[in-house]
Amino acid sequence: FFVVVRILLRNSTFFFEKVEISVLSNSSIAEMASPNPFPAGISKEQAFSMAQTEMEYRVELFNKLAQTCFSKCVDKRYKEAELNMGDNSCIDRCVSKYWQVNGMVGQLLSAGKPPM
């Protein structure tokens, strides 16, 4: 379990870099169509609450991603503590698929189209 977090952390190092960028300029739940991340008129409290909501969303996303890929990829018999190579490649594929779909769904929702 310990090592799964390790490896999922490896796959999400790029994701955590994106968190800082997306807190400021993500369009999935922030206000629509604002190229300037802090336009005039948004007070500090509003910016903080937006960042907090964004952070909660990201944490939820990470937890769900870890749970899904763990349940799909790791054999439950727990014969050894380390992740096998098969488990590693399975987790890589799972995380990349999840992330890609998440991005697509976010874009569709933010653009205002109904999700299919």
Partner 1 sequence: MFNDSSAEPAAGSSGSNENVTKIEPIRMPTIEEMRAQEVWNNCAVKSVASGVMGGGLGLMMGLFMGALDNPIMHDTMTGRQQFVYTAKQMGQRSWSSCKTFAVMGLVYSAAECIVEKARAKHDIINTAVAGCVTGGTMSARGGPKAACMGCVGFATFSVLIEKFFDRHT
**x-or-dash pattern for partner 1, window 85-104, by CB under 8 A?**
xxxxxx--x-----------
The residue (of 31 and 82) whose beta carbon lies closer to partner 1 is: 82
Alpha-carbon torsion angle 101, 104, 108, 111, nearest 10: 150
**x-or-dash pattern for partner 1, window 3-42, by CB under 8 A?**
--xx--xx--x-----------------------------
HEC readout, 45-105: HHHHHHHHHHHHHHHHHHHHHHHHHHHHHCCCCCCCCCCCHHHHHHHHHHHHHHHHHHHHH
Binding to partner 1 by residue 71, rule CB under 8 A? no
Minimum distance, C-beta of residue 63 to partner 1, in the bound complex (Å):
6
Residues in Cβ contact with 42 at an 8 Å cutoff, skipping those fewer than 6 apart: 31, 50
Give residues in contact with partner 1 (CB under 8 A).
2, 5-6, 9-10, 13, 63, 66-67, 73, 75, 79-80, 84-90, 93
